[in-house]
Amino acid sequence: MTTTRTGQPFDRAVLESLMRRRLFYTPAFEIYGGVSGLYDYGPPGCGLQANIIDTWRKHFVLEEDMLEVDCTMLTPAEVLKTSGHVDKFADWMCKDPKTGEIFRADHLVEEVLEARLKGDKEARGVKVEDKDEEDAKKKKKKVKDIKAVKLDDAVVQEYEEILAKIDNYNGEELGQLMAKHEIKNPATGGSLSPPMAFNLMFQTSIGPSSNYPGYLRPETAQGQFLTFQKLLEFNQGSMPFASASIGKSFRNEISPRSGLLRVREFLMAEIEHFVDPEGGKKHPRFSEVADVELELLNREVQLAGKTHVERVPIAQAVAKGTVDNETLGYFLARIQLFLERLGVDKTKLRFRQHMLNEMAHYATDCWDAELLTSYGWIECVGCADRSAYDLSVHAKKTGAPLVVREKRAEPLRVEEFAVEIDKKKFGPRFKKDGKSVEAAIEALTQDVREKLSLELKEKGKVTLDVEGVGDGKVEVGGDLLTIEKRTRVEHTREYIPNVIEPSFGIGRILYSLIEHCFWTRPEEEARGVISLPPPIAPTKVLLVPLSNHPDFTPQIKQLSSRLRSLGVSSRVDASGASIGKRYARNDELGTPLGITVDFQSVKDGSVTLRERDCMRQVRASADEVLEAVRRLVEGTESWADVEGRLPRFEGQEAD
């Protein structure tokens, strides 16, 4: 169980009710019965999302002159076939042939075994938390009741081992587990079909004929890779550089759950940093983050079945080889700084390294920034070294050169065995086979060339294997062919860059951030507060006239217009509710500041400024208060600074 920033036990039901009541987000198409895994963001959610994106753009794109691109979501099948998604982007599903119900295999195994372990504890008289069963229903779990059945100690241990590795089984292994442990449809006891791969991409058809299949992209990355050569040119050929993209991606989850954490349509922000694979993947600005301390949960610790993290400066982690290289390390540190800037709870952030069998086969190293929520540790940002994989496969498939060509500072001298063919004699001698023989000669490796050069010297001729010509053996004489050691000078170096990819799930960050910022006033438990930092909060200022007396209107209007011209979002609440109630409503919306216009304001133009978390107020002229608001929203001043400058006010909220 997690706790709030004030140490209270976190109650998800209370937060979810608040989210819904204040329209942060809401199930999509609810009046049509809803579609699981699809959510709409209402005004506060939408504003929060925009501020997270804005901060991301400043923190990454502007700060490092990244090249932002906006590529299409519709993607031809061929592209995703090359990238491997058509074949491998799948989860395992089982069907109940009788009821037609479909289960995600790993989730089902997990739930059934967890339920049996709980049943065992009950049977052994160990207290099981009541909340779990309530939760089971809410989280749409398949297993509805826990039966108190004692298990053998060995079985308990086996179950626990399976659960620890549940993410690492393939379909066949899941099928074996289900057979061995008799895992069936929990509702009916019916047998299930063996796990089948279910591709998670949404398929569609592009154009009027039905022979051009396409998918909705599962990530923004592929579009960036395909544009690599144009981006390199745009960057005037200079390396390293990064592209960046913000946009929706799609994943047709078998059985979405956990609210915003596992959805079918989601906003991503992805960076593809292209780097020379030679020279240890250094980063020019690594020194700026060298001392940033990260909580790392590395591969070895996980292999040992442990979860303790190590707090180390990133420079040390890179030096020790825990993190593979400087560029990867640079981004891990930058990711942490970004998340802290948003306002996540630093004690609920860790970086977990992927296990070897968890990474794509081409990845060199991969770390997830995980945030602790009531659902456990949630992957919110992935940071992978994808090596040269993607650029290589697309180049190979299309023949397009996705490469960097650099002039060498020093020309490279290469000693090699060169072949030379006397073309005048070659044609007449081999006739229609000429091309095949020539190709076979050109394709000879250096080792073979070395051997043949000796043979040529000794015997005056060589015998080559040429498929499809005569009996497959062809004799070529020294009159037609020369093989000699020569020196070639390379002035240009050509290489395929490696890619470091920090990939952000904005919805997951948004939800986790809200959990981290949520608490309730100890004096009044029903009063929730979302303590988003001022630069991140959707609305910055609530404007409150003391009552709906018409005398207050001109000042409220003027403040509203002045805030607008400062670029600070505000809302007026001129409803009849008490000041206290109106502030309470806005605490729930995460609005950090409130300005009240009262009878004193009408007399002398002064207004009060209230801070959400401490609920204290200051009173000053409109000019002074607006200047304080501007600085608080920019993040250049804290509330303590403001209280130090402006006189304290005690008042209105009592009611």
Q: How many residues bind a copy of itself (CB under 8 A)?
A: 80
Find, among 630, 586, 638, 575, the residue nearest to 612 by Cα: 586
Q: Structure tokens of 135?
A: 């939760």
Q: How far is the CB of 370 from a copy of itself (least distance, A)?
A: 25
Q: What is the 3-state secondary structure (H, E, C) of 562-600?
A: HHHHCCCCEEECCCCCCHHHHHHHHHHCCCCEEEEECHH
Contacts 24+ apart (CB under 8 A), 520-528: 520/4, 520/8, 520/14, 522/6, 522/8, 527/584, 527/587, 528/14, 528/15, 528/18, 528/587, 528/588
| 532 contacts a copy of itself (rule: CB under 8 A) | no
Quick check: 198 binds a copy of itself (CB under 8 A)? Answer: yes
Identify which of residues 280 and 567 has a Cβ nearer to a copy of itself in the complex: 567
Helix (H, G, I), strand (E, B) or coil at 302: helix
Q: How far is the CB of 211 from a copy of itself (least distance, A)?
A: 9
The residue range among 146-154, 233-241, 329-337, 471-479 that interacts with a copy of itself, by the rule CB under 8 A, is 233-241
Least Å distance, CB 219 to a copy of itself, is 15
Q: Which residue intervals of 305-422 are DSSP H helices? A: 314-319, 326-342, 389-398
Instruction: Identify which of residues 71 and 275 has a Cβ nearer to a copy of itself in the complex.
Output: 71
Q: Which of 209, 278, 304, 655 binds a copy of itself (CB under 8 A)?
A: 209
Residue from 157, 176, 205, 287 in contact with a copy of itself (CB under 8 A): 205
Q: Which has the closest alpha carbon to 328: 388, 283, 358?
A: 283
The region that residue 422 occupies, defined by phi over 0 for left and psi between -120 and 50 for alpha, beta otherwise, is beta
Shortest CB 201 distance to a copy of itself, Å: 10
Please state, as a whole number, how many other Cβ atoms lie within 10 Å of the Cβ of residue 505: 23
Site for a copy of itself in 52-81 (CB under 8 A): 58, 62-63, 65, 67-76, 78-79
Of 48 and 339, nearer to a copy of itself (C-beta) is: 48
Could you say which of 4, 83, 227, 520 contacts a copy of itself (CB under 8 A)?
Answer: 227
User: Which listed range, 249-257, 411-419, 420-428, 484-492, lies at the site for a copy of itself (CB under 8 A)?
Assistant: 249-257
Site for a copy of itself in 313-352 (CB under 8 A): none
The site map against a copy of itself for 21-40 (x = CB under 8 A) is -xx--x-xxxxx--xx-xxx
* Residue 532 CB neighbours (<10 A): 24
Name residues contacting a copy of itself, limited to 547-586 (CB under 8 A).
Answer: 564, 567, 569, 571-572, 575
Token pair of 367 as six digits: 């770390």
Between 107 and 354, CB nearer to a copy of itself: 107
Residue 218 binding a copy of itself, by CB under 8 A: no
Q: Which is nearer to a copy of itself, 75 or 353 (CB)?
A: 75
Contact region with a copy of itself (CB under 8 A), list: 19-27, 342-350, 429-437, 607-615: 19-27
CA distance 186 to 201: 28
- E strand or H helix at 268: strand 265-275
Would you say 46 or 301 has its CB closer to a copy of itself? 46
Q: In whole angstroms, how close is the CB of 193 to a copy of itself at the nearest point?
A: 12
| Sites for a copy of itself among residues 393-432 (CB under 8 A) | 394, 397-398, 400, 402
Q: Does 226 bind a copy of itself (CB under 8 A)?
A: yes
Cβ pair 569, 632 in contact under 8 A: no
Token pair 């707090």 in the structure block, residue: 311
Q: Pattern 77-116, binding to a copy of itself, x per CB under 8 A? A: -xx-------------x------x-x--------------
Among the listed ranges 47-55, 336-344, 380-388, 642-650, the one in contact with a copy of itself (CB under 8 A) is 47-55
CB of 19 to a copy of itself, least distance (A): 12
Q: Whole-angstrom Cα distance, residue 6 to residue 3?
A: 8
Q: In angstroms, give the least distance from the CB of 234 to a copy of itself.
A: 5
* 206 contributes a contact to a copy of itself by CB under 8 A: yes
Q: For residue 593, what are the β-bridge partners? A: 541, 611
Question: Segment contacting a copy of itself (CB under 8 A): 251-259, 307-315, 367-375, 481-489?
Answer: 251-259
- Least distance in angstroms from the C-beta of 602 to a copy of itself: 24
The residue within the footprint of a copy of itself, chosen from 55, 252, 453, 596 (CB under 8 A), is 252
Q: If binding is defined by CB under 8 A, does position 216 make contact with a copy of itself?
A: yes
Nearer to a copy of itself, 196 or 355 (CB): 196
Residue with tokens 């620890």: 164
State the DSSP code for 24.
Answer: S
Render 447-516 in DSSP notation, one character per residue. HHHHHHHHHHHHHSEEEEE-TTSTTSEEEEETTTEEEEEEEEEEEEEEEPPEEEEEEEEHHHHHHHHHHH
Q: Applying CB under 8 A, does 194 fall inside the site for a copy of itself? A: no
Task: Give the whole-angstrom CA distance, residue 236 versus residue 423.
Answer: 41
Rank residues 93 and 483 by Cβ distance to a copy of itself and give the closer one.
Answer: 93
DSSP strand pairing (541-545 vs 593-597): parallel
Segment 257 to 316, residues that bind a copy of itself, using CB under 8 A = 264-265
- What is the Cα–Cα distance from 59 to 37, expressed in whole angstroms? 30
Choose, by CB under 8 A, the member of 4, 18, 19, 45 that binds a copy of itself: 45
Nearer Cβ to a copy of itself, position 315 or 593? 593
Buried b or exposed e, range 626-636, using 16+ CB within 10 angstroms = bbbbbebbeee
In the complex, least distance from residue 61 CB atom to a copy of itself, rounded to whole angstroms: 9
- Residue closer to a copy of itself by CB (options 320, 564) is 564
Indicate the residue among 157 and 203 with the shorter CB distance to a copy of itself: 203
Rounded CA-CA distance 556/112 in Å is 59
Residue closer to a copy of itself, measured from CB, 329 or 535: 535
Instruction: Count CB atoms within 10 A of the CB of residue 558.
Output: 12
Q: Distance between the two ends of the chain, CA-based, in angstroms? A: 35
Q: Which of 99, 188, 203, 492 contacts a copy of itself by CB under 8 A?
A: 203
- Window of 209-217, 326-334, 413-421, 640-648 that interacts with a copy of itself by CB under 8 A: 209-217
Residue 251 · residue 85 · CB < 8 Å: no
